[in-house]
Amino acid sequence: MYYYIKNTLEKAKKLDLKGKNGKFVAVLTSLEWLENRDKFDMGIEMDIDLSIVHSTKAEVNYDSLTGTFSIPDRKNISAPNINFAFALDEKGIVFIDDSGFVNDTINNIISTKRWAVPSLERFIFDFLEQIVSRDQLFLERVDKELDTIESNILDGEINDPSQLVSRIRSDLRDLRVHYEQLLDLSQELEENENNFFNKENTRYFRLFSQRVSRLHDLTTSLREFSIQIRDLYQSQLDIKQNRIMAMLTVITTIFMPLTLIAGWYGMNFKYMPELEYKAAYPIVIAVSIVIVIVSLIFFKKKKWL
């Protein structure tokens, strides 16, 4: 697919690669790029293997700027990333993509954007914005989910949330790395080492860096929150265990003198006077009851019960 950057992206059957018709955007598959890369005259021999792309980055060449994107699927962060590559110079930008992601993103730009002052920089800015456009809502949902888990832990209404919290923390870690890579990419574009961009328009990349930086900070904060929730659950477990141990200690303490009495009078020595005393049995029962009552009152005053 070929486009020219006008007030919006206009489809073209073929490109004038000399730049007479304005800046262009091209979307090619890996095979199409291998067949047509010489036509773009970007001075690079970039053999694309999208299966080994694992990061978002940009590299400055003598007369072009190339790079790759590795984008987490926001519907399932743990799923394989969406990978594609790009190459650009002062005439336009070429995307090499086998996933269809770039075409979908460009269609969204066509349906939602109209530019008063069209430029390659503005298109790249809007393309990058599309990548993170729904991330604020996604992170807000994660925040609410973590709040719900925390409330349920405090109310004692949740089973072990460790697996769920671990998954959320892992997703946030992957997003944080993704934002760090986007920051590096936007800063490389803003650097404009090859002077492909209008200096005034590099402000677009600075704006994008600021937005991604805020998303990065929010992601870091949520990840720390998830760690706190894990610690909170562990502390709640410790409190429950301490209560159980306190109860067992109280029960043991109450029954210790009763056990002593039972053991003492279970020895059956021949000359134990209490064995033949008629009131011995009820007296032992009464003493045992008194011991239990006194113990319960004592523990109650000490707030151990």
What would the mean pLDDT of 270-283 be, rounded to a whole number? 74
Answer whether residue 71 is part of any domain: yes
Phi (first) and psi of residue 234, to 5 degrees: -65, -40
Q: What is the pLDDT of residues 165-182, one digit of tens each?
A: 888 888 899 999 999 999
Note down the domain range covering 108: 1-116
Task: Read off the CATH number of the domain in which 272 is found.
Answer: 1.20.58.340
Q: What's the confidence (pLDDT) of residue 211? A: 93
Please say if the pLDDT value at position 6 is more than 90. no
Q: Which of 91-95, 283-287, 292-296 has the largest mean confidence? A: 91-95
Answer whether residue 212 is part of any domain: no
Residue 194 to residue 91: CA distance in whole angstroms: 12
Tokens of 235: 């502390």
Task: Read off the CATH number of the domain in which 55 is found.
Answer: 3.30.460.20
Q: What is the pLDDT of residues 31-75, one digit of tens each?
A: 888 887 777 776 565 666 667 778 888 888 777 788 889 999 888
Give residues with Cβ within 8 angstroms of 23, minimum separation 6. Answer: 4, 5, 91, 92, 118, 119, 120, 123
Contact 250, 305 (CB under 8 A): yes
Residue 172 to residue 146: CA distance in whole angstroms: 12
Of 116, 145, 163, the position where a domain reaches its end is: 116
Answer whether residue 249 is part of any domain: yes
Q: What's the confidence (pLDDT) of residue 76? A: 87
Answer whether residue 145 is part of any domain: no
Contact 87, 17 (CB under 8 A): no
Contact 268, 275 (CB under 8 A): yes
Q: Which of 15-29, 194-208, 244-258 has the lowest mean pLDDT?
A: 15-29
Answer whether residue 129 is part of any domain: no
Q: Is 142 helix (H, G, I), strand (E, B) or coil?
A: helix
Answer whether residue 15 is part of any domain: yes
Q: What's the confidence (pLDDT) of residue 18? A: 64
Using a cut of 0.85, tell me whether the model's pTM lies above it. Answer: no
Closest CA to 123 of 19, 6, 37, 14: 6
Domains of the chain: total: 2
DSSP assigned state of 200: G
Q: What's the confidence (pLDDT) of residue 207? A: 93
C-alpha angle 119-61-122 in degrees, rounded to nearest 5: 15
Answer whether residue 293 is part of any domain: yes
Q: Other CB atoms closer than 10 Å to residue 82's CB: what's the count? A: 18
Residue 113 to residue 136: CA distance in whole angstroms: 20
Q: What is the pLDDT of residues 136-160, one digit of tens each?
A: 999 999 999 888 888 887 777 667 7
Q: What is the pLDDT of residues 190-237, one digit of tens each?
A: 888 888 888 888 899 999 999 999 999 999 999 988 888 887 777 777
Q: What's the confidence (pLDDT) of residue 220? A: 92
DSSP assigned state of 133: T
Of 116, 143, 171, the position where a domain reaches its end is: 116
